[in-house]
Amino acid sequence: MTVTNAEADFVVNSKYRSHASSMSDSLKLTIGARVQAARRGANLSQEVLADRVSRTPESISNIERGKQLPNIETLAELARVLDVPLTDFFEGLEKRRSISRERAELEAELLETARQLAPRLVKVAVEQVKALRQLG
């Protein structure tokens, strides 16, 4: 059986699209979970945040649920309003291929909780997380 160049290109491009789609989904989930955690940490409702960044509550909801990837201008405005560095939304993304929604939310919550701790307590939290890693 001979495979034509067009067929080979289709297979390669399909695999690339599938991988790119998976990366995009993971990016949307992770950024959305981090936006949600920062919003909750700032004690803001989706409606209030939407108003402050000139977006609709539905748009904020879609971002937080990983259904919509905001453009960089929107992310910068979210970071400003939520008082977090813009880079926090992207931290560690280069190391992961795919992630579940639950994992993205838990990691974002952990990061936001650590951000609110005094430095000495962050040190304790890191040691506890390391101990948990060794357990399992």
pLDDT, tens digit, for every residue of 3-22?
A: 565 555 554 455 544 445 66
3-state secondary structure of 96: coil
Q: What are the φ/ψ torsions at residue 42 (nearest 5 degrees)?
A: -85, 0
- Cβ 62 vs Cβ 28: under 8 Å: no
- Cβ 38 vs Cβ 77: under 8 Å: no
Type of residue numbered 32: G
C-alpha closest to that of 112 among 134, 85, 132: 85
pLDDT number for residue 6: 56
Q: What is the pLDDT of residues 22-43, one digit of tens each?
A: 668 888 998 999 999 999 999 9
Taking 3-state DSSP, the helix, strand and coil percentages for the chain, each rounded to the nearest 5, stand at 75, 0, 25
Confidence band (pLDDT; 50, 70, 90) for 52? very high
